[in-house]
Amino acid sequence: MRSKGLILGVGLIAAVASFGFNDDFKRERGGPKDAAKNALEGKEPPALVATEFLNSNGKKISWKDLKGKVVVVDFWTQWCGPCKASVPHVKELLEKYKDKGLVVVGVHSDPDTAKMKAVVSELGMNWIIAQDGEKKTFTAMAGDSFPDYYLIDRKGILRFADLANAEVDRAVEMLIAEKP
């Protein structure tokens, strides 16, 4: 009987390892891109591809530029109601942790730059916004809905791919607490 429990335990560990994470954070899974999302975790993220950057002092931003920071990548679009509804919370999160090294990069995944700029202005989105109208970054990171949250640690490693929205605060707290 004891060996049966051991076998089940080893099987569970193997199953968790095959998903690419071994923590208790919930990811948004249940679709055809799950394996790709799992494979991204624990590695450097795919390149940030954008045609324009807002709130970056006119600079093009790369993930390497943000090494040493905890980065919340927020995939969003100007037509997404839940994306707009999340803005006040993202502002609060950024305000709470920006002095401890948190950066938010909103990756706008729709070609309508004019509407994107209007929404950024209207909602007071004061974090870096990358215009990814061709969805190159979104596709490379296996995005499949909006908003999607991905978190990069201070070492530049993608730790969470498509983290459940309700888990973002807890994950940020954990990554902020880690030593650089």
* CATH topology (fold) of 26-177: Glutaredoxin (3.40.30)
Cα 101 to Cα 140: distance, rounded to the nearest angstrom: 25
For the residues 9-29, what does the mean pLDDT come to?
60
Give the predicted TM-score (pTM) of the model: 0.87
pLDDT for residue 22: 73
For the residues 137-154, what does the mean pLDDT come to?
97
**Statement: residue 14 has pLDDT above 90:** no
